[in-house]
Amino acid sequence: MNFPFNVYIPAFFVPAIVAWASMPFLQRFCTRIGLLDKPGERKIHIAPVPLAGGWAVFLGLAVTLVGGLVFIWLPVSDQGYIEPLRYGFTQRAWELAGIIGGAFGMLILGWIDDMFALKPAVKFVGQWIIASLVVLAGIRITLFVPDIVFSYVITVSWILTITNAVNFMDNMNGLCAGVGCIGAFWFGLWSALCGHYLVASMALSVSGALLGFLPYNFPRAVAFMGDAGSHMTGFLLAILGILPHFYSGADTSRLAVISPLVILAVPLFDLVWVVLIRIRNHKPFYIGDTNHISHRLVRSGMSQSAAVMLIWLIAAIAGALPLLFL
């Protein structure tokens, strides 16, 4: 039974359109309730900016998922067209519920942080609880080690690392959303080429939703993702790095399991870079500064937009490299 690859078109464009179209309403709503990023130290904007991006991205994903579920369960004549989708949703229902629940959990955790500036320890505990619940839903990394404790530790560590790496990168207009959009796209393309159609559809939806928000965030930002958006984006990228079967055991090199590390090389390198600098300077690793790659590019003489686009280009090139493992 062949999968209808034209499904990938609405999977990408529907969340993009929903996220883009919902932004004006969400901007007004965030302004009304006071969900704003106000000017301050290490910030370049001079007026409060609505933290609406994360909610727009989630709305795009939610509308696409609900619409897709309604569509595939409607009685239609061409059963062969939708049967692969029905089978995929049925087989991975618990995992899908864990992913959506985890994404919403990270969104809410980030929203609370946006509103009340949580202490780092409290935020970390919240991230750990959400990651643990996702593991219980059946989403796990094994790395060829058949041990449940190892699987739990490595999976939770991966989710926490990528979530915080992406959160750290939310420091310049368009940077977090752009890198997230590129990473999700490469996960989608890899999954599609390997026949993981449900994962591919999900990844392309994440990429599309982030792309729909991007015009409001780059080059001039009239809205930010906020911790709500960066937490959710990082979580989704971490999950997309777990779901595809990068190693088939038959005709794929075991080096393929490092593909998520390569696709997400930019946020991971930035995380390691700033943490090492903060440790060397005897500062807490969780306290923000201006030592990120983007900041250093700007200090070297580049404009902020040019620095962001250069990082996008590097992320795009890095994301293409795992295709060599196919």
Task: Note the pLDDT tens digit of each residue in 241-255.
Answer: 998 765 555 545 566
**Bridge pairing between strands 36-37 and 49-50:** antiparallel
Read off the pLDDT of each residue in 74-92 and give the average, rounded to a whole number: 68
Tell me what pLDDT residue 141 has: 85
Backbone φ and ψ for 240, nearest 5 degrees, come out as -65, -20
Read off the pLDDT of each residue in 66-95 and give the average, rounded to a whole number: 73
Tell me what pLDDT residue 80 has: 61
For the segment 39-62, what is each residue's pLDDT rounded down to a tens digit? 656 556 557 899 999 999 999 999
Tell me what pLDDT residue 43 has: 59
Q: Is 49 in a helix, a strand, or coil?
A: strand
Full domain range(s) for residue 21: 5-325
Above 90 in pLDDT, residue 216?
A: yes
Tell me what pLDDT residue 46 has: 59
Tell me what pLDDT residue 252 has: 52
DSSP assignment letter at 36:
E
- Report the alpha-carbon distance of residue 245 to residue 92 in Å, rounded: 14
Tell me what pLDDT residue 81 has: 60
Could you tell me the pLDDT band of residue 163, with boundaries at 50, 70 and 90?
A: very high
Share above pLDDT 90 across residues of the chain, in percent, rounded to a whole number: 65
Above 80 in pLDDT, residue 85?
A: no
For the segment 188-212, what is each residue's pLDDT rounded down to a tens digit? 998 888 888 888 999 999 999 999 9
- Report the alpha-carbon distance of residue 268 to residue 160 in Å, rounded: 12
Read off the pLDDT of each residue in 155-171 and give the average, rounded to a whole number: 95
Query: Cα separations (Å) of 258 from 247, 255, 313, 319?
Result: 10, 6, 20, 12
Read off the pLDDT of each residue in 65-79 and give the average, rounded to a whole number: 74
Tokens 């994301």 map to which residue?
319
* Mean pLDDT, the chain, whole residue set: 88
Tell me what pLDDT residue 168 has: 94
Mean pLDDT is lowest, of 86-95, 96-105, 227-236, for 86-95
Read off the pLDDT of each residue in 161-168 and give the average, rounded to a whole number: 96
Tell me what pLDDT residue 62 has: 95
Could you tell me the pLDDT band of residue 137, with boundaries at 50, 70 and 90?
A: confident
Tell me what pLDDT residue 77 has: 46
Please state the domain count of the chain: 1
For the segment 235-289, what is each residue's pLDDT rounded down to a tens digit? 999 999 998 765 555 545 566 678 899 999 999 999 999 999 999 998 988 888 8
Q: Are 229 and 54 in contact (CB under 8 A)?
A: yes
- Report the alpha-carbon distance of residue 305 to residue 49 in Å, rounded: 18
Read off the pLDDT of each residue in 292-309 and give the average, rounded to a whole number: 95
- Token couple for 139: 């989403």
pTM: 0.93
Mean pLDDT is lowest, of 17-21, 71-75, 90-94, 196-200, for 71-75
Q: Is 283 in a helix, a strand, or coil?
A: coil
First to last CA, the chain: 22
- Report the alpha-carbon distance of residue 282 to residue 271 in Å, rounded: 16
Tell me what pLDDT residue 61 has: 96
Tell me what pLDDT residue 1 has: 47
CB neighbour burial string for 175-191, b if at least 16 within 10 angstroms, e if fewer: bbbbbbbbbbbbbbbbb
- Report the alpha-carbon distance of residue 258 to residue 264 in Å, rounded: 10
In terms of Cβ atoms closer than 10 Å to its own Cβ (0-12, 13-18, 19+), residue 144 is: exposed
Mean pLDDT is lowest, of 72-81, 129-138, 260-269, for 72-81
Read off the pLDDT of each residue in 206-235 and give the average, rounded to a whole number: 96
